[in-house]
């Protein structure tokens, strides 16, 4: 869609629905990846695990973002679903699949053919008080779009970086302490580049940044997990990938890093079992969990087939436990995001061959409770837990599965026209999920 037409669509929406203002009540819903800055991908509200029914709409590019859902927008009693595409468009949909507005923020093509085109690949974030959706495009700009109309807020977009052929926002954005934080990685794990975390003030649009691996150490350190960075205890938690040097843990490459909201390093840790050579960097984004009777933990998966956990308040002391899942013989293990169910005290993760439940005991250490076979493929989707059901998409068979969180038995299975990467969203008794083929599904 041309920018002029997109603006006209947004203006039409403004006429129909009226413009949202900061004086309105804060919005509620699934406002960021993982249903919170901790990235747990959990909601107590369940979805009936019987035969799923719903709607499907075709969008203009691959969907790598997790759908966001807001209640009482554009008006009270209505629900709006927001999703970005590789075609560079942000869509606002009704919960029945009708397009409320769409805004083109631009896209690029690239020699790396992981995607046909690169547009909005990192899940946006919604600020509940300013009632704006913040989305990063493929050209290095951060947008602030009115939730009701899609209109760009005054003074936006802001430019984060200018060499858009080297950096890409793969991970989710997060809003915290009056700023939106944006992580960047590279195209195709190719150098030279430097991963970064940007922090942009919502009040005055000032920008600060942090790089895990400076150029003198080889650069790299891209942050590419779907969950981006997490926020908790007043800190940002990031898990950068490898440095582009003989020592791939150079600088803060392959470290769990705790940052202040001013983006200064507070603590960091590199597990000894994450080898300084080979493709074994962290593959998922940090997830903060608070099991009853345990200290708050930061859980991060690695491509080496292990889950690591640190005490959130003592990262520099190193992992408090490591769970080795290599005995499951996964293919390209642990490239998905994790999920956590507080009632079950359980972490869920999809490997290339299995969906795994690991339960934390009274000693706050994990043990595999069950492992459910998945169609063998490298890139199965990330799970989300809704009540007592784990939902995820499979890559090879292109299905949406509902798995009993207690037993590991498949309770629901629905064909869909493409593989999914990001976790689905469950809100208001409906499930929403996108596919790499450009499909968007609403299921109830």
Interval 316-334: pLDDT, tens: 999 999 999 988 766 666 7
pLDDT at 379: 75
pLDDT < 70 positions in the chain: 1-23, 48-52, 189-191, 329-333, 378
Q: How far apart are CA 393 and CA 405, in angstroms?
A: 15
Q: In whole angstroms, what is the distance from residue 256 CA to residue 253 CA?
A: 9
| Domains along the sequence of the chain with CATH | 3-443 (2.140.10.10)
Nearest to 133 by CA among 222, 67, 63, 211: 67
pLDDT score of 52: 56
Which has the closest alpha carbon to 158: 135, 174, 184? 135
pLDDT reported for residue 284: 76
Q: Rounded CA gap, 266 and 367, in Å?
A: 30
Please tell me the predicted confidence (pLDDT) of residue 253.
93
| Three-state secondary-structure class, residue 241 | coil
Closest CA to 300 of 315, 283, 324: 283
3-state secondary structure of 312: coil
CA separation (Å) from 412 to 53, 137, 372, 394, 400?
11, 35, 14, 13, 8
The alpha helices in 155-280, defined as continuous H runs, are none
pLDDT reported for residue 3: 41
């Amino acid at each position: 869609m041309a920018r002029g037409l997109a603006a006209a669509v947004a203006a039409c929406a403004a006429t129909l629905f009226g413009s949202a203002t900061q004086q309105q009540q804060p919005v509620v819903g699934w406002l960021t990846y993982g249903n919170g800055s901790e990235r747990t991908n959990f909601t107590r509200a369940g979805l009936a695990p019987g035969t799923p029914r719903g709607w499907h709409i075709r969008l203009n590019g691959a969907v790598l973002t997790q759908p966001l859902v807001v209640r009482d927008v554009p008006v009270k009693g209505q629900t709006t679903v927001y999703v970005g595409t590789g075609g560079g468009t942000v869509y606002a949909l009704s919960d029945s699949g009708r397009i409320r507005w769409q805004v083109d923020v631009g896209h690029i093509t690239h020699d790396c053919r992981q995607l046909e085109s690169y547009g909005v690949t990192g899940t946006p974030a919604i600020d509940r008080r300013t009632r704006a959706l913040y989305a990063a495009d493929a050209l290095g700009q951060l947008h602030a779009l009115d939730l009701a109309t899609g209109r760009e807020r005054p003074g936006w977009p802001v430019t984060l970086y200018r060499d858009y052929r080297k950096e890409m926002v793969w991970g989710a954005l997060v809003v915290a302490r009056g700023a939106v934080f944006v992580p960047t990685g590279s195209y195709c794990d190719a150098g030279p580049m430097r991963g970064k975390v940007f922090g942009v003030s919502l009040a005055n649009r000032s920008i600060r940044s942090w790089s895990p691996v400076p150029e003198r150490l080889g650069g790299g350190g891209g942050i590419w997990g779907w969950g981006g960075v997490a926020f908790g205890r007043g800190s940002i938690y990031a898990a950068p990938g490898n440095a582009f040097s003989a020592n791939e843990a150079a600088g803060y490459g392959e470290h769990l890093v705790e940052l202040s909201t001013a983006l200064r390093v507070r603590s960091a840790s590199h597990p000894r079992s994450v080898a300084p050579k080979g493709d074994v960097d962290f593959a998922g984004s940090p997830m903060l969990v608070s099991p009853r009777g345990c200290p708050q933990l930061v859980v991060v998966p690695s491509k080496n087939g292990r889950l690591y956990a640190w005490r959130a308040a003592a990262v520099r002391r190193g992992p408090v436990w490591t769970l080795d899942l290599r005995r499951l013989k996964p293919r390209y293990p642990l490239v998905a995001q994790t999920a956590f169910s507080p009632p079950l005290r359980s972490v869920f993760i999809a490997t290339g061959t299995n969906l795994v439940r690991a339960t934390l005991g009274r000693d706050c250490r994990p043990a595999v409770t069950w492992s459910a076979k998945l169609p063998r493929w490298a890139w199965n989707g990330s799970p989300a837990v809704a009540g007592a059901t784990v939902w995820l998409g499979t890559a090879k068979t292109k299905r949406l599965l509902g798995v009993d969180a207690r037993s590991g038995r498949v309770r629901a299975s629905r064909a869909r026209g493409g593989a999914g990467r990001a976790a689905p969203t469950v809100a208001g008794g409906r499930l929403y999920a996108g596919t790499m083929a450009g499909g968007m599904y609403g299921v109830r």
